[in-house]
Structure 1
């Protein structure tokens, strides 16, 4: 496990635990470090994604420009980039070194990387690139709650936002520590042909009610037991868990955006029994499908699972 990544994540967790607010920048809020004229994207291109990004300034200071508004971020501060935000990072001035720890967050997966700018190098250096970890909960729901609290300034919003972020970072830290203790190596991308083939197969066949690990294993000409062990070693999760999370992702989308009944949604995502679907949904999401639909009507949850 790369010490640069684990130490950066540890300091991020400590900052969220101890630093006073305003601590977390989100576009649309009042921030004490606004910059009048956005800097040019001198070290990294403008970009936008369909997933969340969480950035932590581990060393130095830099600017983050989001939707043409530039903000100053100093050491210990965080920034949440929401899906669809056009953004880029840049040095405050050419002689100002900095280091950022980035978390790209989709529904159940988090990809971590560390970037560093130094005056003697013409562009960003990726100290750690694209380390993947899997978590058994809806990460985008957590970040949606944080953004909602910060933008709307509800009573005790700082306390609530801090609690959500601590949950997210605590889960990520626990997963990385567990993988490190097993002595596994986290792969920077899903370039492994077996993992890529299995993920693609699940994404294509998740709606089939009798799909199992044996089917996935047969697709890549392996035994079910060998695939389960191999898949967990590479990803930190089991193939069946990924299948369930894929089904839950599509179920959440249908609950939030369609008029299908719960029974119809259960069938559409591969469950033969609406009761089994409802029980599984509540176990993995913390609420029943009906309650989720009611909540989604008030504050839609953005889902993204970029597994490519």
Structure 2
């Protein structure tokens, strides 16, 4: 096991339940460093961590290299680097990447821990500060690039926690702990035993969250198939088996549903809504919306805004 040399007792960790770990080290998330990082293209050298690094790509193209494998993250993607992982990363474009260094499990010496710097790969002297790794347990496997079951709620909770952490007040820190506990709970629900399976070739549970964060973009079968590590034809067949309709029909339904929400609850113009929901133009939007709902976007807005008074 490549990370065993960093355990406090110097022995290879025994594979067991992450829930058993809580009896030894309770789950008490502690955010050590966080920011809404806005950067020009850059590179960050190799290192290993004592804690966890959670990243959300708000804008741009962000490449994460973990244990020799490259992950290309873009708008709406999440990444998790676990303690002891050899990793480096780079912003291939201008990026906005909110991030947090955090402990998940309580350690009475947590105040002594720190985010490591590029070049720090030998952490034997700090073994007493090393956090347990989620993926060292039998009942949870969180991939580096992951897809929460409810990506929007996960994102909003995480961003709220970062904003509060930056306030550095006692009450804000207490709320940060509460919010990050919720974030960890969502991770375990998505990737723990009995939760939703990870995004691999056999499971498509990630599709809803992946698409919901990209409705304003052009989504293709080829793009989704590549994400699922399947050929387009096999992906389409698997998709029909899972969702009972084609990828095109599924994404179109999501676009129309989002348009309904914006028509009823926002002041955005119809062209703006068409753009936000990924329709090519207002004509395409109106035609697809009426075919799905039986009314035009304008009529739908008039009726639902009238009902709100």
TM-score relative to the length of structure 1:
0.40
TM-score relative to the length of structure 2:
0.39
